[in-house]
């Protein structure tokens, strides 16, 4: 029976905002994805090479749990979640997994029939030609069965979520149950008699558990049994491929990891809300700073504008759950596609664009201004630093993909300094104790310390411990520096001794780290970082030994932003996480656990 027809029938009746019926009804999602991505033949057990002209042509490596047989050949219809596919949908993935499993089972069934026939022929040959039971004919007949299947060769380095082939298969009933429960999720979110704001809350989760006997996760997905969710996580973990520029960089970095942050139920920040209405739009798979906490109650994010290819600036009110579009249309056109967002608390929102322009929006007055920062062909704005130092409130530090770092004076409306480096800069952090000193990371294994007043590109200091390009960094007032890299590691340093990192951390997916932030509070200090998809980690920096405490926040979707903000009393903190997925994306909000010091938390795995 073709399950796709049933899914079409189930989904067409209720899903309006996303046409999941068409998405899930694609007969061969995996094949289509491979054609679009240009996937070449895998060349090793955890790396494939992809030709992709969008990045500028040439080959780049793509490390992940790509399954192969023992001969190095790809098995029938392997599916992956390529990091560069920015418009993935959760239900596309589920159906692709199901289709792939069906194809694999049919392939193995066919192989079994051939082997049976071969064994029969071998037996007949033994009888007619007098060949021994242990002779060459029998060995040749059995040689194919000795080869590992795609399940035998799965990369199980993490060891978590993995189950046997039979237990982890996403069978027809599982898929239909997940789809049916998605319909129930929509009905619950839309029922204003029970809840408001289309947000998942602890009250909603409890309601589902008490009245339905099911489990609702923090994203609002409903699971008939825990094993269903574990199956999906296992499949995502074992099919995710993280983009790398430098060959085998993840493998090289893994030997240096001090702490593998494996899944845990520890709680440092309490789950508060998951707002399901915001739809974050990724326009470049490596640029993930598309959400910013303007105030405690206002979050701005990049979203697709209706009937247009451009991205609009949207505001989420976290109190009411309502959305509002920033009225900046007169300042932008269809060429303005947001590549990065930042803000200065309750003052302005700054958006960089693919066309090299800068948009400044002042929410309190409703005014906006637009400036052209770069005219060069490769002029994407990769990052904007808004200083927390009052001395530099009117200055922005802007990194463009044309390898330039610019100081932009918002009062004068022009650049006051511009320095060209040897490689594009992807992230900037300032020293909280001396805001003239900046940390730069980018398309290099190096990290640079520079002075913003300098007119040349000679660094004050440089250090190199990563194995690939970096896209995240931050600096806190306790002399800690952190860098996040495509080699899947976060490295934490003491800025008084940058010769080697204090600690090297890595997540469960071994995914690229493209978002990383230190908390802003003056009490307990935290570091939050995100893998490219599905996972955010919150690390307690007050513990610096083997009893390191951390919290693992799991969801389904690509991370589109991560930001800390302080609550009004200045003691509590909030962590906001943007998730991009066509069907189940949104914005998470976590708050400080006031009793965190008394709650028991497990330790990191010390390597």
Mean pLDDT by groups of 10 residues along the chain of 607 residues: 40 36 35 31 28 31 42 42 77 88 70 53 44 30 28 34 53 88 92 81 93 93 93 91 94 96 92 96 95 95 77 92 91 88 93 96 95 94 95 95 97 96 98 97 98 93 98 97 98 97 96 96 87 96 72 97 84 92 96 56 45
Label each residue of 452-468 as H, E or C. Answer: CCCCCCCCCEEEECCCC
Instruction: Give the number of domains in the chain.
Output: 2
Burial class of 364 by CB neighbour count within 10 A (0 to 12, 13 to 18, 19+): exposed
Q: Which of 227, 244, 261 is the last residue of a domain?
A: 244
**Beta-carbon count within 10 A of 136 CB:** 10
Sheet hosting strand 414-420, strand order edge to edge: 381-386, 395-400, 404-409, 414-420
CATH of the domain at 476: 2.130.10.10
Residue 605 within a domain: no
Cα distance between residue 326 and residue 316, in whole Å? 10
82 token code pair: 């390529």
Is 295 in the same domain as 319? yes
- Boundaries of domain holding 227: 1-244
The residues near 589 (Cβ < 8 Å, ≥ 6 apart) are 272, 273, 274, 275, 318, 574, 575, 576
Residue 291 within a domain: yes
Phi first, then psi: what are they for 286, rounded to 5°?
-95, -20
Residue 296 within a domain: yes
Is 173 in the same domain as 49? yes
CA triple 228-576-579, angle to 5 deg: 45
Helix (H), strand (E) at residue 574: strand 573-580
307 token code pair: 């009937």
Is 223 in the same domain as 275? no
Is 348 in the same domain as 433? yes
Is 216 in the same domain as 88? yes
Residue 606 within a domain: no
Residue 552 within a domain: yes
Phi first, then psi: what are they for 117, rounded to 5°?
-65, -40
Paired residues of 338 in beta bridges: 353
Is 286 in the same domain as 394? yes
Q: Which single residue is written with the structure tokens 């560069």?
A: 84
Is 404 in the same domain as 498? yes
Instruction: Map residue 10 onto helix, strand or coil.
Output: helix
Is 12 in the same domain as 100? yes
Is 185 in the same domain as 316? no
Is 194 in the same domain as 326? no
Cα distance between residue 314 and residue 328, in whole Å? 10
Q: Which of 214, 244, 274 is the last residue of a domain?
A: 244
Helix (H), strand (E) at residue 389: none
Q: CA distances (Å), 96 to each of 13, 86, 137, 175, in order?
A: 22, 16, 39, 11
Is 298 in the same domain as 212? no
Is 209 in the same domain as 337? no
354 token code pair: 């693919």
Cα distance between residue 101 and residue 330, in whole Å? 50
How much of the chain is helix, strand and coil, in % rounded to 5? 25, 35, 40
Q: Which of 226, 244, 262 is the last residue of a domain?
A: 244
Residue 604 within a domain: no
Phi first, then psi: what are they for 21, rounded to 5°?
-60, -45
What pLDDT score does 191 carry?
84
Residue 441 within a domain: yes
Residue 607 within a domain: no
Instruction: Map residue 142 onto helix, strand or coil.
Output: helix
Sheet hosting strand 338-344, strand order edge to edge: 338-344, 348-353, 357-362, 367-372
């Amino acid at each position: 029976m073709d399950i796709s027809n049933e899914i079409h029938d189930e989904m067409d009746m209720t899903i309006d905002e996303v046409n999941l019926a068409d998405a899930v009804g694609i007969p061969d999602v995996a094949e289509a994805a491979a054609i679009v991505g240009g996937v070449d033949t895998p060349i090793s057990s955890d790396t494939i090479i992809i030709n992709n002209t969008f990045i500028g042509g040439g080959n780049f490596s793509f490390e992940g749990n790509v399954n192969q047989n023992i001969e190095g050949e790809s098995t029938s219809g392997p599916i992956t979640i390529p990091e560069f596919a920015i418009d993935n949908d959760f239900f596309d993935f589920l159906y692709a997994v199901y289709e792939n499993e069906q194809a694999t089972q049919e392939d193995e069934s066919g192989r079994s029939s051939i082997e049976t026939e071969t064994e029969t022929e071998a037996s007949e040959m033994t009888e007619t030609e007098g060949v021994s039971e242990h002779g060459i004919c029998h060995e040749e007949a059995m040689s194919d069965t000795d080869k590992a299947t795609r399940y035998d060769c799965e990369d199980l380095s993490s060891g978590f979520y993995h189950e046997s082939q039979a237990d982890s298969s996403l069978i027809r009933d599982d898929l239909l149950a997940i789809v049916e429960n998605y319909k129930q999720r929509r009905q619950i979110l839309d029922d204003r008699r029970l809840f408001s704001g289309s947000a998942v809350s602890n009250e909603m989760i409890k309601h589902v558990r008490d009245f339905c006997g099911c489990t609702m996760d923090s994203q609002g997905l409903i699971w008939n049994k825990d094993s269903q969710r574990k199956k999906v996580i296992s499949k995502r973990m074992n099919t995710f491929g993280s983009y790398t520029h430098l060959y085998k960089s993840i493998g090289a970095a893994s030997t240096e990891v001090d702490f593998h942050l494996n899944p845990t139920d520890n709680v440092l920040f309490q789950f508060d809300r998951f707002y399901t209405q915001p739809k974050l739009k990724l326009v470049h798979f490596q640029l993930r700073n598309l959400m910013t906490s303007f105030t405690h109650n206002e979050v701005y994010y990049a979203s697709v504008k209706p009937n247009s290819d451009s991205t609009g600036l949207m505001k989420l009110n976290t109190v009411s759950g309502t959305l509002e579009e920033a009225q900046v249309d007169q300042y932008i056109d269809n060429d303005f596609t947001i590549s990065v967002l930042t803000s200065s608390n309750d003052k302005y929102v700054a958006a960089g664009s693919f066309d090299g322009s800068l948009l400044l929006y002042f929410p309190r007055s409703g005014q906006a201004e637009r400036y052209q920062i770069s005219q060069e062909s490769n002029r994407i704005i990769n990052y904007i630093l808004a200083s927390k130092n009052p001395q530099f409130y009117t200055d922005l530090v802007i990194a463009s993909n044309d390898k330039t770092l610019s100081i932009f004076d918002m009062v004068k409306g022009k650049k006051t300094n511009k320095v060209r480096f040897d490689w594009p800069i992807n992230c900037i952090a300032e020293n909280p104790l001396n805001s003239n000193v900046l940390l730069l990371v980018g398309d290099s294994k190096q990290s640079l310390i520079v002075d913003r007043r300098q007119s040349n590109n000679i660094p004050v200091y440089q250090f190199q411990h990563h194995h690939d390009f970096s896209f995240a960094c931050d600096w806190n007032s306790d002399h800690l520096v952190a860098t996040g890299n495509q080699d899947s590691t976060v490295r934490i340093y003491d800025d008084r001794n940058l010769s080697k990192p204090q600690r090297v951390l890595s997540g469960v997916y071994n995914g690229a780290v493209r978002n990383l932030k230190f908390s802003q509070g003056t009490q307990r200090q935290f570091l939050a970082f995100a893998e490219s998809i599905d996972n955010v980690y919150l690390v307690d920096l007050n513990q610096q030994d083997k009893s390191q405490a951390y919290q693992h926040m799991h969801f389904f979707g690509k991370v589109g932003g991560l930001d800390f903000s302080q609550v009004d009393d200045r003691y509590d903190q909030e962590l906001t996480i943007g998730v991009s997925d066509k069907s189940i994306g949104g914005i998470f909000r976590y708050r400080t656990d006031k009793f965190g010091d008394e709650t028991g938390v497990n330790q990191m795995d010390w390597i």
